[in-house]
Structure 1
Amino acid sequence: MFAALAAGSLLVSPVAMAQMDTPAQQRHRINLDDVELTDLIEDVSIVTGYTFIVHPQVRGRVTVTSQTALTTDEVFDVFLATLRVHQFVAIPSGDRTYRIVPEATASSSAGIQSRGPNGDSFVTQIVQLNYFSAVEAAQMLNPILNPSGQVVANRNSNTLVIVDYASNMPRLREVVRQLDEDGTTIETIALQNVPAQEMETVLNGLHDEFALNFTAVASDTTNSIILRGEEHAVARALTVARELDASERVRDNIRVLPLSNAKAEEIVPVLERLSAAIAQQNGAGEGSGVAPTISFHEATNSLVLSAEYEMLNQLERVVQELDVRRPQVMVEALVVEMSDNAVNELGLQFVVSGTGNDIPFASTNFSRSAPNILALTGALVSEGGLTGSGSNTFQSAAISSLLGLEGLTLGGGGMSGDTLFGVILNAVENDVESNILSTPMLMAVDNETSSIIVGQEIPVTTGEVLSDSNSNAFRTIERQNVGVQLDVTPQIGEGDSVRLSIYQEASNIADAVSTSGEFITNKRSIETTVIADDGEIIVLGGLIEQTSAVSASQVPFLGDLPGVGRLFQSEGVTNSRTNLMVFIRPTVVRDSEDVRMTTSQRYRYIRAQELMSTGAEASNIDRFVQDVLGTVPPAQ
């Protein structure tokens, strides 16, 4: 590449270079058009005799053109400038050796030099300060550093370690020299009423406006100002600072802070404890200052604060951090219950009776069998001779027994002479399957308990008092919720994980215990605390239950007879199976966009269910939202 000018490279080749006296006497003309940067590095190494250690990230294509011949030193200057344009730097690393690295990493690896070999190289210099603080000097140098440069102050040795382009080093050293001049004075003033940051801004404004040679630095931890500069300038600044701090004592020490998100009554206890701690630290309770008072106005949800000026500022900053919009959690529960009950019954009943004054009688009657053979026999007898209310009673009992009949019933009976007889065979197979699905859901604010109940209230007797004469009797009744209930307290953690304290209940009326209105309720509840990720479905718990019961009734001895024993037996078999599972899914809702998205999803679902059930083309829900609420339905 370092060939003839016509080849588009440097004018002098490596062979020609070797024939000249010294590299400094050689002159070269550069004409490079879109060549690899690594090729340029290799050729400059040949021309200058320097050794380059190239970082793996040093890549790119460059174009360099010179109309006049350049010395070897000038070629090296152009080379460094080209590197800088492409955000690379050459860092001295020993005798005639340079490391070429990306500019972003140069500050951590620049070599230490008493002065930079070239303006475009990256160097490190250590500067000892005798009078001025190295920490303060570092703060003042940062604004004039190259973006890739760095300055580090060593408090113990009061030295500065400066890493920057060599071209910027003279400017930095001159600033340090002026700062480190003797003859300055330092004063510190503790402020009682004005925040240190505000006072720093005011005093430095005086510095600029009246050309006073001093510097003001605020110390927030002690609420004080450090002044450094010429004696008369520092004295003038001290006078101004004291006057401003004293004038703030007469300022209004009451503030009203309306809250947008938090509840004022919940913030008050926090501020009371905080103000007490601040007052104790500042010694406000030792006889001076305004005792802090914190109250709230419920109607406007505002805080009313009365305290010293500085404490008011501190309390207001705390309120601003607390009065933020808290995220919410949409909690969706899924309760699935699948049950299967199967009942098989088989029974045989018979009756044989005579007539007359002395009536021989024989019968089998089992509680599981229907209809009741004795009730039917009574009706048959009443037809044969009973009249009046007795006949009606027997007939009503027979009808009631027949109305409760299930399954297959075969039977017969009659009278033959003085003998009354009857027989009934009853067989029942009953299979009941049920699937119960409930999906309660609710939106809850972070760290707030929310609850939803869907069901009804039923009366439950809790006490009853009867007197001997049945007078002044009374019964105490309590209302009990029956249905689906979900109570949840979410707490959003790191990475949108959600800690959920949950109580979930599903209950329903099973049957009446008595005619007095007492009920049996089936109740499934779960109370637990779980942790789930945003949008993750987890199982809270469940129950898998399977029961089997066999009941048999028979006539003693006769039921055990071989062959004919089944005629004197009644048997029932009951099998039941229940599968219950409870699932939960939390979804974090952080802003109004998340709220709109969640609302639209739920609205679309309920709207689709309505259209599916009615078969209509237009939704009544849309019409209700438009006509009654006077707004546009959520996005479809």
Structure 2
Amino acid sequence: MRSGWRLVLVGVACLVGSGSVSGQGASSGDPGEEVPPISLNLRDVSVRTALATIADVTDLNLVASDNVTGRVTLNLEDVPWQQALALILESHGLASRRRGNVIMVAPRETMARTPAEATSLPAAPLTTERWRIKYARAAELASMLRGENGVGLLTERGRVAVDERTNSLLVQDTAERIAAVGQIIAQLDVAVRQVRIEARIVIARDSVARELGVSWGISAAEQGQSSGLNASGASSGIAENGGLAVDLGSAEAPGTRFAFGYLADDVLLDLELRALESEGRSRIISQPSVITANQRQALIKQGTEIPYQEATSSGATNVEFKEAVLSLEVTPRITPDDRIIMSLSINNDTVAQETFGGAPAIDTNQIATRVLVDDGQTVVLGGILTTREVSQLFKTPLLGDLPWLGHLFRYTENSSDKVELLVFITPRILVENLAAH
């Protein structure tokens, strides 16, 4: 057997319990000379052990980097050693490089460097730097530096640690990489812009929305597709401003689904709602407001929890609760031109008349959509109609109760009152100097 560098790992005899190897070793020559096909039957052995096995049966000079890790299972019959080696390398993100009569194996990132870089990096001294992160989460930045979700920014010897208590990063690497990491942190550790979400939940007569200038529906031609928003839900596209034109007619029962629209820009919404409320034509039941960071979800919820009794397996009863709420989940995203894309999820739960096993039944209406609005523009959610039928009996005392003739002195007046639940959502971008302070 020829002399030279060859990877020797702990006890090839240990392979007897993990698999079998067959093949005829080469007598002499460089890597790549004619070597008979080999057969490998390895089960759950380390990658380094598998490489050592190939080097042993083929009489190759093979050196593996310290970063070669992982385990592998192989069952190959009469394949060229080059193919067996390539399978192991590809399945574990490794690459090989030949220097003279020696084959080196290392991770692809290491092999991507030039030989001069690979030789000089280990000799470079390491330095340690600490960054106090102001706005971002130190753990998320550390994950990015390590390359857990992609290509990392550290060298092979680089290390990063997180101090959760002070939200700090400790990075150890070469001076060149430390400088690059500092530039990246300076670009990412910035104050996130914030959005104020204002919601107004109003009960109004069905004509109020039209008087406020609400345009229901969306034009499919404006959106560039054949489908649009309808009374059953929303399309997956973005509703561009100005595309609202048509009424949301539906074959479904009226008042069972949300409708969607924009409010005209020149409407003084608060003044209009107060005026309608003073006339008894509307009532503002809630006016919540919440501030959230860009691309962070805000939740607004209003309603009640309904108690009911539920029997246990032991015969006892427990008091459980079901929610019947109006909830709004809003996730804003600020565009480069200071407009806002809002991902909206609105759910309106009401108590039904029926019960099942003592538990109250809940009627649910839900819509999930994504809209593009200007800063300060109002989106309107409506379409939940409630009709109240009222019957009143008027009669003349005594005479109205006479048999046969009583109907001449009494009459019944029937009236219906239709109201609509309207939800006005207005996003406003907060000025950046608030975040800076």
> Would you call these one fold, judging by a TM-score over 0.5?
no
Q: RCO (CA 8 Å, sep 6+): is it higher in 1 or 2? A: 2
**TM-score, structure 2 as length reference:** 0.43
Larger Rg, first or second structure (1 or 2): 1
In terms of fraction of residues, the more helix-rich structure is 1
Tell me the TM-score normalised to structure 1 length: 0.31
